[in-house]
Amino acid sequence: MAKPLDIRELKALAKRRVPKMFFDYADSGAWTEGTYRANETDFHDIKLRQRVLVDMTRRSLATTMIGQPVSMPVALAPTGLTGMQHADGEMLAAQAAEAFGVPFTLSTMSICSIEDVASVTTKPFWFQLYVMRDRDFVKNLIDRAKAAKCSALVLTLDLQILGQRHKDLRNGLSAPPKFTPKHIWQMATRPLWCLEMLKTQRRSFGNIVGHAKNVSDLSSLSSWTAEQFDPQLSWENVAEIKEMWGGPLILKGILDVEDAKMAARTGADAIIVSNHGGRQLDGARSSISMLPRIVDAVGDQIEIHLDGGIRSGQDVLKAIALGAKGTYIGRPFLYGLGAMGKDGVTLALEIIRKELDITMALCGKRDISDIDRDVISD
Ligand code: HOC
């Protein structure tokens, strides 16, 4: 296959290289997947203004997210089980992001651990935290993120209970996982993936196994995970985590104006307008459709980021135009990783950078700081 030209082509390649159960894990949304789809399609409904005869010679995409310099306003989102798209996936993606000058966010539910990622990077990465019911474990994770010199904590608020993803249930990707001969076959038909996976020892949740109380193998891990998301998580807990962490804090999973107002009062550094990639509340609005209202309500009080549905540089530009200071890509980098390992993550970032740069120029803008609602057509 020729070198992929856009994220859609990277996705097609990943589908051919990654065993179905793991490709589907990345590619799934909750229930009917309506919100998952809306995250993407609502971007298509936003139209840009084409401008001409503007000097476009010197252009810059560089900006900051929570005051930290980024080469473009795109971070890699925290994604669970990334090391199952490709062996050592989190380490490879972190290296690609570092070389590109954009933040990498390691998920609590990653395969490679905080220490694994720290061992192959030279600049700070961000760490995403789920507040588990075992608060000693949460404290342990925060201490490890501090020891690894993570430069931001991304606290996820929209997963107090796990949404239902039909593809995962059909694929047996549940707690505990149900392995059948079908899975062996799915893996056997992906020999390159298997070869890489055989070379690494990292095939389980690296932040959890050996760190959480009584979690030593797959079966103890499954039962632990199933009961650990905290249905009683509260704004008081957010304040406690902020205190415990003591560094830059980003609150992820805000999709409602009232919640955005509460989040702004916490003193966090940023919020991420997000519906967890359509993986939690099916029927919720898309992230991009909620962005303008949230910006209007709290944009003068807190920095606003957006995640969900970004598949191109045009989407990044639209989110920035509607008030986001930064955006996150999850699936686009996972497709790159599944398709071509570290080179694929780099390619996903290159594709988005090129699209963003050309789109910005054709909208008559030369610097990312010049992008505002003016580039959106009525
Ligand atoms: C079995 C554990 O962010 C996702 C992740 C977190 C889920 C943990 C599942 O898939 O949305």
Question: For residue 141, is it within any domain?
Answer: yes
Question: For residue 1, is it within any domain?
Answer: no
pLDDT for 22 beyond 80: yes
Cβ atoms of 337 and 85 closer than 8 Å: yes
pLDDT for 338 beyond 90: yes
CA trace torsion 235, 257, 71, 341 (10° rounding)? 70
Average pLDDT, stretch 97-115? Answer: 97
Question: For residue 2, is it within any domain?
Answer: no
Q: Which atom of ligand 1 is nearest to the CA of 173?
A: 1
Q: Which atom of ligand 1 is nearest to the CA of 79?
A: 3
pLDDT of residue 216: 78
Distance 242 CA to ligand 1 centre (A): 23
Quick: pLDDT tens for 269-316: 999 999 999 999 999 999 999 999 999 999 999 999 999 999 999 999
Question: For residue 317, is it within any domain?
Answer: yes
Pairing mode of beta strands 326-329, 74-76 = parallel
- Residues serving a catalytic function are 276
- Tally of structural domains, the chain: 1
Average pLDDT, stretch 84-103? Answer: 98
Task: Look at the alpha carbons of 348, 354, 356, 362 in this order and tell me if their dihedral is positive or negative.
Answer: negative
pLDDT for 221 beyond 90: no
Question: For residue 297, is it within any domain?
Answer: yes
pLDDT of residue 233: 95
pLDDT of residue 4: 95
**In whole numbers, what is the pLDDT of the chain averaged over residues?**
95
Quick: pLDDT tens for 148-184: 999 999 999 999 999 999 999 888 887 666 778 888 8
Distance 293 CA to ligand 1 centre (A): 28
Domain CATH code at residue 279:
3.20.20.70
Q: Binding site: which residues?
A: 25, 78-80, 107, 128, 130, 156, 165, 252, 274, 276, 279, 307-311, 330-331
Q: Which residues line ligand 1 (CB under 6 A)?
A: 80, 109, 175, 225, 276, 279
The pTM score is: 0.97
pLDDT of residue 178: 74
Quick: pLDDT tens for 172-217: 887 666 778 888 898 899 999 999 999 999 988 999 988 998 887 7
Distance 191 CA to ligand 1 centre (A): 26
Average pLDDT, stretch 320-332? Answer: 98
pLDDT of residue 173: 82
Distance 142 CA to ligand 1 centre (A): 19
**Probe ligand 1: pick from 159, 252, 282, max atoms within 8 Å of CB?**
159
Domain that holds residue 138: 7-375
